[in-house]
């Protein structure tokens, strides 16, 4: 359990950190492009002037959906090329969500007057679907990836702590004597246990001087204080 807890802890921490960092980077890149488009866009409410550079373009967006596509014209130093470009690319401009429907291309530099037959038209730089997907994906990655990593981190810390507590409180292994080192016949220091190397008083062994197997005790004269043995 302790090893699993360690693995989940470090894995969750890595997932959370990487997801948040990568998600923030993607969100900044994608949403930054969307923000630039919003800042450089403007509404076309009646005749509106626009200073264009040579070979530049303006993309047209409309807040109207489900109705006829607006028609726009542009007059200036050169003939403006108009094209219809229906797309799903959209962004929020002020309080409206506008969607791309056309494009104006200016072949020469100069001041042009743009006019549309519908209100709610917005002109601005091109916004790509990839920028929107990148920004939204970065936000989702940071939120969900960071949340998943945080959950794994919490579970790992709990398992790590429980496993460490169990290992600390585990009972010690019971001591058992080594049967080969100490024979069952007795241990050193037991009372009444005799060993071949021990010598006891008044005990004769074959290698002692004057020992004869089966011989009577040697003669010893009695002293005056001793009484002769009495026969029964």
Q: Which pLDDT does position 24 carry in this prediction?
A: 87
Total Cβ atoms within 10 A of residue 195: 7
pLDDT reading at 227 higher than 60: no
Q: Indicate the pairing of strand 110-116 with strand 48-52.
A: antiparallel
Range of 70-74, 130-134, 135-139, 184-188 with top mean pLDDT: 70-74
Q: Which two tokens stand for residue 47?
A: 């005749």
DSSP letter string over 104-151?
Answer: EEESS-EEEEEEESSSSEEEES---HHHHHHHHHHHHIIIIIHHHHHH
If pLDDT is split at 50, 70 and 90, which confidence band does 199 have?
A: low
- Average model confidence (pLDDT) for the chain? 75
SS3 54: coil
Pick from 65-69, 88-92, 110-114, 210-214: least confident: 210-214
What is the average pLDDT across 128-157? Answer: 82
pLDDT above 60 for 206: no
- pTM value? 0.50
Q: Please tell me the predicted confidence (pLDDT) of residue 207.
A: 54
pLDDT tens-digit readout, 85-137: 777 777 788 878 888 888 899 999 999 999 988 878 899 887 766 776 787 88
- Is the Cβ–Cβ distance between 59 and 96 less than 8 Å? no
For range 211-231, the mean pLDDT: 56
Residue with tokens 């807890």: 5
Task: Provide the pLDDT confidence category of residue 65 given band limits of 50, 70 and 90.
Answer: low
How far, in whole angstroms, is CA 2 from its chain's centroid?
16
Per residue in 24-42, pLDDT (tens digit) is: 888 888 777 777 777 888 9
Reference 27, options 141, 135, 143; nearest CA is 135
**Contact in structure between 145 and 13 (CB atoms under 8 Å):** no
- 51 - beta bridge partners? 111
Nearest-angstrom CA–CA distance, 14 and 149: 7
């Amino acid at each position: 359990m302790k090893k699993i807890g360690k693995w989940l802890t470090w894995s969750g921490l890595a997932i959370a950190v990487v997801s948040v960092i990568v998600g923030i980077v993607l969100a900044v890149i994608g949403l930054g492009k969307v923000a630039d488009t919003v800042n450089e866009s403007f509404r076309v409410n009646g005749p509106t002037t626009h200073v264009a550079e040579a070979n530049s373009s303006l993309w047209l967006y409309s807040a109207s959906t489900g109705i006829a596509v607006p028609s726009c014209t542009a007059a200036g130093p050169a003939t403006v090329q108009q094209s219809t470009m229906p797309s799903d690319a959209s962004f929020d401009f002020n309080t409206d969500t506008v969607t791309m429907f056309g494009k104006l291309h200016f072949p020469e530099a100069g001041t042009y007057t743009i006019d549309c037959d519908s209100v709610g038209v917005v002109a601005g730089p091109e916004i790509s679907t990839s920028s929107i997907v990148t920004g939204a994906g970065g936000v989702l990655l940071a939120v969900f990836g960071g949340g998943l990593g945080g959950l794994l981190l919490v579970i790992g810390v709990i398992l790590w702590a429980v496993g460490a507590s169990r290992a600390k409180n585990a009972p010690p292994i019971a001591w058992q004597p080594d049967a080969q080192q100490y024979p069952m016949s007795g241990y050193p220091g037991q009372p009444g246990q005799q060993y071949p190397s021990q010598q006891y008083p008044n005990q004769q062994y074959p290698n002692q001087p004057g020992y004869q197997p089966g011989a009577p005790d040697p003669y010893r004269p009695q002293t005056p204080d001793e009484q002769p043995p009495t026969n029964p």
